């Protein structure tokens, strides 16, 4: 088969439209600060977001997922829902200056709480039900600031329904929710917790994130989130969970996203820098594998590199 025909009959297609780039936005001004655990990734001041948006748009990537890195934290994570919170300011600025960028807001508390957990505490443990109202409040404040989509990553039971109810009640009936439904308790989040300063101050997240021995549980969680009103379901991490992506793709009737997380990025970067692997080759292969497994959307710190590999004909 000639090369042109081989490309013509490829079974998996990757388009730039399907890529989402995670952006860390921090309080304060000044230049981007490189994240030690994620070489090549930065925390951006709100005033400086244009710098990364120019790079993204030039490469053909127009979707971002915002994570906030606030200076101040408290027990209820008020920086997550304040009107002048870092993500709210980033959303307003982006919608004003870069209306062509599609903005997804990550809804969680761990970057904003002094204890680093994804919900509020009661008697030293995360209180699922009490956390729901706070999460809905975060989602609503992001909606008011201009978010195009809301992505709850906290993993509290019932949060999609709680968020949907509040958004609908406030007139945001058409605002989509992308639920991190199948989010595993994973060591692959380590570099992110350095980047966002969100490591739990005590204990771990195993009470609310999933056990990586299970796959049917992921399908069950995903179906429950769809029933609660999720428009898109996310599986996270991606690479060690391609079976979960496949099972969810087959079981669901909504689009599926996979999040190639910080640890996946850090491993490829480290091995690439050491000369142990061909970094571009591995980025291409891993990105395609996520789509081959059945994902419709890929959230990746390599979004720009993947877009360039598409341009170069190495992915597509
Ligand atoms: C917080 C959150 C995490 C990630 C996204 N949202 C980390 C965690 O659960 O500790 C991980 C993203 C990544 O590793 O790139 N709810
Ligand atoms: Zn969290």
Share of the chain above pLDDT 70, in %: 100
In words, the CATH class of domain 10-311 is: alpha beta
Is residue 67 within 8 A of residue 106, CB to CB? The reply is: yes
**Per-residue model confidence as pLDDT tens digits over 6-49:** 888 999 999 999 999 999 999 999 999 999 999 999 999 999 99
DSSP string, 253-282: SS-EEEEE-HHHHHHHHHHHHTTSS-HHHH
Which atom of ligand 1 is the closest one to the Cα of 111?
A: 1
Binding site membership of 189 for ligand 1 (Cβ less than 6 Å): yes
- Tokens coding 207: 């009470």
CA 132 to centroid of ligand 1, rounded, Å: 18
Binding site membership of 261 for ligand 1 (Cβ less than 6 Å): yes
**Per-residue model confidence as pLDDT tens digits over 187-220:** 999 999 998 989 999 999 899 999 999 999 999 9
H-helix segments, 148-241: 159-169, 190-196, 216-228
Which atom of ligand 1 is the closest one to the Cα of 265?
A: 15
> Residue 253, Cα to own-chain centre: how many angstroms?
21
* CA max distance for the chain: 66
Binding site membership of 193 for ligand 1 (Cβ less than 6 Å): yes
Q: Which residues surround ligand 2, an ion (CB under 5 A)?
A: 108, 110, 118
Nearest to 154 by CA among 213, 201, 113: 113
Q: Which of 116, 192, 206, 268 maximizes ligand 1 atoms within 8 Å of its Cβ, making it the mutation to test the pocket?
A: 192
Q: Which residue ranges make up each domain of the chain? A: 10-311
Q: Which of 25, 189, 197 maximizes ligand 1 atoms within 8 Å of its Cβ, making it the mutation to test the pocket?
A: 189
β-strands 297-300, 19-26: how paired? parallel
Positions annotated as catalytic residues are 183, 236
- For the chain, state the CA radius of gyration: 19
Give, as one character, the DSSP assignment of residue 16.
G
Give ∠ CA 28-30-36 in degrees, rounded to 5: 90
Q: Which H or E element spans position 52?
A: helix 49-59
- The model's pTM is 0.97
Binding site membership of 295 for ligand 1 (Cβ less than 6 Å): no
Mean pLDDT of 130-142: 97
**Per-residue model confidence as pLDDT tens digits over 211-246:** 999 999 999 999 999 999 999 999 999 999 999 999
């Amino acid at each position: 088969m000639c090369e042109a025909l081989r490309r013509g009959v490829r079974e998996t297609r990757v388009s730039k439209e399907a890529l989402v780039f995670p952006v860390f936005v921090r309080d304060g001004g000044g230049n981007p600060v490189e994240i030690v655990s994620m070489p090549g990734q930065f925390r951006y001041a709100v005033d400086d977001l244009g710098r990364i948006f120019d790079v993204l748009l030039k490469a053909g990537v127009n979707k971002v997922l915002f994570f906030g890195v606030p200076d101040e934290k408290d027990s209820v994570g008020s920086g997550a829902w304040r009107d002048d919170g870092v993500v709210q300011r980033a959303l307003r600025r982006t919608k004003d200056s870069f209306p062509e960028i599609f903005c997804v807001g990550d809804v969680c508390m761990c970057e904003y709480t002094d204890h680093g957990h994804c919900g509020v505490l009661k008697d030293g443990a995360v209180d699922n039900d009490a956390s729901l109202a706070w999460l809905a409040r975060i989602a609503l404040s992001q909606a008011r600031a201009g978010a195009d989509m809301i992505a709850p990553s906290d993993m509290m039971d019932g949060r999609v329904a709680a968020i949907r109810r509040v958004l609908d009640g406030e007139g945001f009936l058409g605002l989509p929710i992308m639920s991190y439904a199948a989010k595993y308790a994973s060591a692959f989040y380590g570099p992110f917790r350095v980047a966002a300063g969100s490591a739990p101050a005590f204990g771990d997240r195993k009470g609310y994130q999933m056990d990586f021995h299970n796959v049917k549980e992921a399908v069950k969680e995903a179906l429950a989130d769809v029933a609660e009103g999720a428009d898109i379901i996310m599986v996270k991490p991606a690479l060690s969970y391609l079976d979960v992506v496949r099972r969810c793709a087959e079981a669901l009737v909504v689009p599926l996203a996979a999040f190639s997380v910080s640890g996946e990025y850090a491993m490829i970067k480290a091995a690439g820098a050491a000369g142990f692997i061909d970094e571009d080759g591995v980025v291409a292969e891993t990105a395609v594998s996520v789509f081959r497994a059945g994902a419709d959307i890929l959230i990746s710190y390599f979004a720009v590199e993947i877009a360039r590999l598409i341009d170069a004909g190495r992915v597509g």
